[in-house]
Amino acid sequence: MQLVPDFSPAPPLKATWNGITAKFAQEPPGESNHILNSPVIGAVFAPQVRSCWQIDGGGSGIVAVPTGSVCLYTVPQIWWRWEQPADTVHLALEPSLIERIARECNISGTVALDHRLVLLDPVLFNFAMLFKTELQTGGIGGQIYIESLTTALVVHLLRHYRGSTSTIKIEDCPLSQTQLNDIRAFIEAHLGDNFTVADMAAIAHFSPAHFARAFKSTVGQPPHRYVMQQRIEKAKQLLAMTRLPITDVGLAVGFQNKSHFAAQFHKFVAVSPKAYRDSL
């Protein structure tokens, strides 16, 4: 008697942010027929020994798809059939988002991304894992994190998958000391507000994509992580120097709810806000 492995898929998760829609799904063996109106990245988290595909009613084939594989779909329609349980993340990018970031990177003309059926790109796969985490945690990283992640993803696509025979070089010029001081002052003054990368970029008179690269080149980390560190440091000060309730401390430094604050505080400090206060 052959034992059939139990398959209990998690419920699908889907979210749309500014210009990008992410979906995480676990499905039993089956098939799908996707009509696409924008580029889509598909990341595979469970191996497929044998998958059948057909594009636009034309080219077709059978292919093995190992864990860690990524597909970049830029065709109008693709059909798949898979024989093992599937575990995937799909990221749909609005054309207007790609075009805007291309302009900010000084890329002129029509932006056309390659179609790649199955490729091994650890960077793209890591982006998919990060978006999967955001779906599973309800967007715990926050708006600045999602915005930064999306911009970095599109820049990677523009660098490596714009045109089948050439890549582009996007310079990462640092911020001036004056720009950096102004941005740090803005962050300090607005830690409790829901500001964006675009708000910070405006201070430096940069586009958001240019600013994100320039900030990382200057500070050594992306804007969202720097902002999160500043929020946590300010929270530590408030926990130590005031008797504000923990929920109010989180709100004061830009966290919309207690669970989000507790998760991020533990990530950076390795203890909960309450345990940190009790240890002082």
What are the pLDDT digits (tens) for 196-226? 888 998 888 887 878 888 898 899 999 999 9
Given a cut of 50, the residues of the chain with pLDDT beneath it are 1-7, 164-168
Q: Are residues 114 and 182 in the same domain?
A: no
Does 225 fall in a domain? yes
For residue 90, the 8-state DSSP code is: E
Best CA proximity match to 42, nearest among 126, 135, 128? 128
Residue 189 is encoded by which pair of tokens?
């003054």
Q: Are residues 117 and 225 in the same domain?
A: no
Of the three residues 138, 153, 187, the one that is the final residue of a domain is 138
**Separation CA 16–CA 268 (nearest Å):** 27
Whether 65 and 47 have beta carbons less than 8 Å apart is answered as yes
For residue 162, the 8-state DSSP code is: B
Task: Look at residue 130 in the predicted model and tell me its pLDDT.
Answer: 95
Residue 152 is encoded by which pair of tokens?
């970095």
Does 226 fall in a domain? yes
The residues, any chain, with a CB within 8 Å of residue 257's CB and separated by 6 or more, are 250
Q: Are residues 134 and 182 in the same domain?
A: no
The residues, any chain, with a CB within 8 Å of residue 273's CB and separated by 6 or more, are 235, 239, 246, 249, 250, 261, 262, 265
CA torsion 250→255→260→265, rounded to 10°?
Answer: -50
**Separation CA 213–CA 195 (nearest Å):** 18
Does 84 fall in a domain? yes
**Separation CA 88–CA 69 (nearest Å):** 10
Q: Are residues 25 and 115 in the same domain?
A: yes
Task: Look at residue 141 in the predicted model and tell me its pLDDT.
Answer: 80
For residue 22, the 8-state DSSP code is: E
Task: Look at residue 111 in the predicted model and tell me its pLDDT.
Answer: 81
Of the three residues 138, 158, 192, the one that is the final residue of a domain is 138
Q: Are residues 122 and 183 in the same domain?
A: no
Does 145 fall in a domain? no
Does 144 fall in a domain? no
Q: Write the Ramachandran bin of 60: left for phi over 0, alpha for psi from -120 to 50, otherwise beta.
A: beta
Residue 250 is encoded by which pair of tokens?
């989180």
Number of domains in the chain: 2
State which residues form the domain around 261: 177-278
Best CA proximity match to 244, nearest among 194, 186, 192? 192
- Placement of tokens 């045109």 in the chain: 163
Of the three residues 89, 107, 138, the one that is the final residue of a domain is 138
Q: Are residues 19 and 85 in the same domain?
A: yes
Q: Are residues 92 and 197 in the same domain?
A: no
CATH number of the structural domain spanning residue 246: 1.10.10.60
Give the number of C-alpha atoms closer than 13 A to the C-alpha of residue 26, restricted to the C-beta side.
Answer: 9
